[in-house]
Amino acid sequence: MTITLWLEQAMQDADRRGLPALRPLLEALARATSALRIADWNADATGQRESDVASGFPGLSAVEGSRTSERE
Amino acid sequence: MNDQPQTIAALGRALAARETTAQQATEQCLQAIATRSASLNAFTRVLADAALEAARRADAEIAAGRRRGLLHGVPISLKDVIDMRGVATTAASRVREDHVAAADATSVGRLREAGAVIVGKTNLHEFAFGTTSEESAFGPARHPLDPTRSPGGSSGGSAASVLAGMAYGSIGTDTGGSIRIPAAACGLVGFKPTLGVLPTDGVVPLSTTMDHLGPICRSVEDAQLLFDVLRGAPPAAPIPRDARRMRLALLGPYFMALLDAGVADAFEGACGRLRSAGVELVEASIPHAGDIVPIYLHIGLSEAAAYHAATLDRCPDAYTPNVRLRLEMGRYILAEDYVRALRGRDVLTAEVDAALTGVDALLLPSLAIPAPKIGVETVRIGGADEPVRNVMLRLTQLFNITGHPSLTIPCGLTAEKLPVGAQIVGRRGDDAELLSLASALEPHLGPGASR
């Protein structure tokens, strides 16, 4: 599941359960999940790194920027 | 505790020499609790009668020549996530208001066998899921040096109880820094041993693969003493260490990038004193430090959600609102992302192991900010507003992911006279070695910052 789709469905579910306050937390979690998915230790079944595969999450570029600044 | 010894070891020796009694020490702690409990809110429950009874029993046994060791007759507090038979383990939550522990946690049994006097259960961030001890069914725990500030968390009541002379030591838990953060904020020693070394049965879990038990106290010697009792093994033979022969790796740059200026100054001063004492400081880094937070979140939130899911459905309003929301977050994490985080844990563990190659230990600050004001959600560091929770976890959570033993020692004060801690990290399984190193470094980290 792409992070964009995951986030959309999670927010809908949170709204349905009467928890709209979860929305910003889920957005933050989506950014963290994006960072996790592009980490360079990941590999996919082709033998390539998953970071070479687009995640499809619009917030990813911002996450990548912050990761780059923290990367040692 | 004015006219009593200040540390567990000193009190233990005074009790052995019959210079004081367990009853006197316990009465003094109970008096401190009575005097300051309203302002500090350090305890969820005080066990005055049981403590006095245990103290009198200890005095009788010591008088009869049946002394069990340095902890015999010493007043100790317990974070209220640890089971004590016949007493509620509330986890500072209304969710558990009807709970009564059927048995002692193994750790409590070991404290009792050593003759410790348990004066009460201490306040915490609800379910140990926070760094300030503000969100509690019992109201916020407060800092003894400034009650408008948090003592840190989640073991905030434990640290406050020790600093305020309500107990000589406390047993806390640490899943992202919950022993080291409050110990650093309160100018105390806090020790998170290697993952799995101390038993966590009878302890309310937060994240089952990152939960640790450990002591908060006034000296490294006390930490060693409590650690030996909690692990249920004979005291390890001390390994004498000379600071002049030590080589420590200063972790950077991630770990130095977001520090309060007062914390940075105090830590720099401590490094200078270590160099003057002959300690060699070299630089080291964790290549994937930028991935610590995503890895921590996906492991911690998933495991916490698994424990709380049924209760969140059954009685959601019994949680404090923010803790409930953070627990709900974990219910949305996909299994594939949890597994990615576990892979990330292996990567980070190997990188911490590598950073320890050729050095005795790693050195970094324990807490990036001094004790924050209660109710404050962000702090300004380096020109940006940062969430208090994220900043407080930043320097400790790595070693919950990897399981390396880690200890905080007071290393100075900010300009506002708030304590700053230095964190020393050792090899997995080498807890005794880390305590020996810390004991040798403690006099140099000061200056006189240890309380």
User: Tokens representing B257?
Assistant: 């990038």
A42:B341 CB<8 A: no
**pLDDT-based confidence at residue A56 (cuts at 50, 70, 90):** very low
pLDDT digits (tens, 9 = 90+) for A30-47: 999 999 999 999 977 887
Query: Is B283 within 8 Å of B256 (Cβ atoms)?
Result: no
Task: Return the higher-pLDDT residue of A60 and B265.
Answer: B265
User: Based on C-alpha coordinates, what's the Rg of chain B?
Assistant: 20
Question: What is d(CA A49, CA A38) in angstroms, rounded to the nearest whole number?
Answer: 8
Asked if pLDDT for residue B379 goes beyond 70, the answer is yes
**Residue B159 near residue B186 (C-beta atoms within 8 A):** yes
**Identity of the residue in B253, B291, B328 whose CB atom sits nearest the CB atom of A39:** B291
Please name the member of B286, B321, B341 whose beta carbon is closest to the beta carbon of A72: B286
Q: Taking CB atoms and an 8 Å limit, are A29 and B297 in contact across chains? A: yes
Tell me whether A64 touches chain B (CB under 8 Å).
Answer: no
| Domain count of the fold of chain B | 1
Residue A6: the pLDDT is: 97
Percent of chain B surpassing pLDDT 90? 94
Q: Does A72 touch chain B (CB under 8 A)?
A: yes
Kindly state the percentage of chain B with pLDDT values over 70.
Answer: 98
In degrees, rounded to 5, the angle at the alpha carbon of residue B292 between the alpha carbons of residues B93 and B344 is 105
Within 13 A of A56's CA, how many CA atoms are on the CB side? 8
**Under the phi-then-psi rule, with left for phi > 0, alpha for psi from -120 to 50, and beta for the rest, what region is B18?**
left
- The pLDDT assigned to B205 comes to 98
CATH of residue B267's domain is: 3.90.1300.10
Q: B434 lies in which domain range?
A: 1-451
**pLDDT tens digit sequence for B286-315:** 999 999 999 999 999 999 999 999 999 999
Separation CA B282–CA B88 (nearest Å): 48
d(CA B361, CA B20): 38
Q: Which residues of B are catalytic?
A: 79, 154, 178
| pTM metric for this prediction | 0.94
> A14 — contact with chain B (CB < 8 Å)?
yes
Residues of A in contact with B253 (CB under 8 A): 72
Residue ranges covered by each domain of chain A? 3-66
B293/A32 touch (CB, cutoff 8 Å), yes or no: yes
And the tokens for B32?
């401190």
Q: Which residues are bridge partners to B407 per DSSP?
A: B191, B424
